[in-house]
Amino acid sequence: MKFIFNIIYNFLDRYVHRPKIKKLIKKLNLDQKIIFDVGSHEGETLNFLMKIFPHAKYFGFEPQKKCFKKLKKKFLFNKNVKVFNCALGQKSQSKTLFHNSLSTTSTFSLINSKSKHYKIKSFFLSSKYAGFYGKQKVKVKTLAQMIKVLKIKKIELLKIDTEGHELEVLKGLKNNIKNIKIIFIEHNFTDYYLKYNLKEIVSFLKKNKFKNIAGAKFPFMQYSDEIYVNTKFMK
């Protein structure tokens, strides 16, 4: 079932969801300078964005060892891409990352085994893939730290997909959030992750003068990719 699930998911992602996102992003009229990808996995989104903005400088962050190994190999000879084997969060620390065979769902957040989403995943994939079987200690840094180290003044596009850890990543920006033009972030509409609060994320972005201008829900799934624009940069 896992094999079939992956085929269907990848098909919908490539031919249905990503074309929608591409249309939305192309309308943003970015300067193509600096793009951050937080939760790079194996470079799928980096590849996707590079086709839209070929002249931008890319910085990817992925804490999971196996994923990072593939990520690093993929962009080893690309001078426009720098990747880092670390997680990003609210503060610098060492933290436990939980993961399973579906490596895209690795997370710092514990899951809710009583949630409807968990039960559906268990039915189709077995509880082994619905829950988490392994863990590893990873380095956590903040976006504020990385921005300072990399000497970056402005980020055109910040993509965040961290499976329930998005708010912590945003809080790690500190005052640098005012220098972000676009935030491209995943919204989860289930109670699959414990302590994940979508309302808090939306409230945080609104408080920091970001406006939700567009979004695309993944077919048959309970999550979407949303685009927020810093009103400071809106004409």
Residue whose pair of structure tokens reads 């490539």 in the numeric block: 14
Q: Where are the alpha helices (DSSP H) in 116-219?
A: 116-125, 127-130, 143-150, 166-171, 198-207
**pLDDT, tens digit (0-9, with 9 covering 90-100), for 179-221:** 999 999 999 877 767 677 889 999 999 999 999 999 998 877 7
Using the predicted structure, report yes or no on whether residue 233 has a pLDDT greater than 60. yes
Give the global pTM: 0.88
C-alpha–C-alpha distance, residues 212 and 201, integer Å = 12
Res 115: pLDDT: 66
Report which DSSP code applies to 100: -
Q: Looking at per-residue confidence, does 140 or 163 come out higher?
A: 140
Res 133: pLDDT: 61
List the one residue out of 53, 54, 47 whose CA is nearest residue 27.
53
Among 1.20.1250.20, 3.40.50.150, 3.10.20.310, 3.40.190.10, what is the CATH number of 2-233? 3.40.50.150
Res 7: pLDDT: 76
Quote the crossing angle between the two packed helices 116-125 and 2-12, to the nearest 10°. Answer: 120
Report which DSSP code applies to 218: P
When mean pLDDT is compared across 65-79, 120-134, 156-170, the lowest value belongs to: 120-134
Confidence tier at 131 by pLDDT (50, 70, 90): low
**pLDDT, tens digit (0-9, with 9 covering 90-100), for 35-68:** 999 999 999 999 999 999 999 999 999 999 989 9
Cβ(156)–Cβ(34) below 8 Å: yes
User: Which residue type sits at 212?
Assistant: N
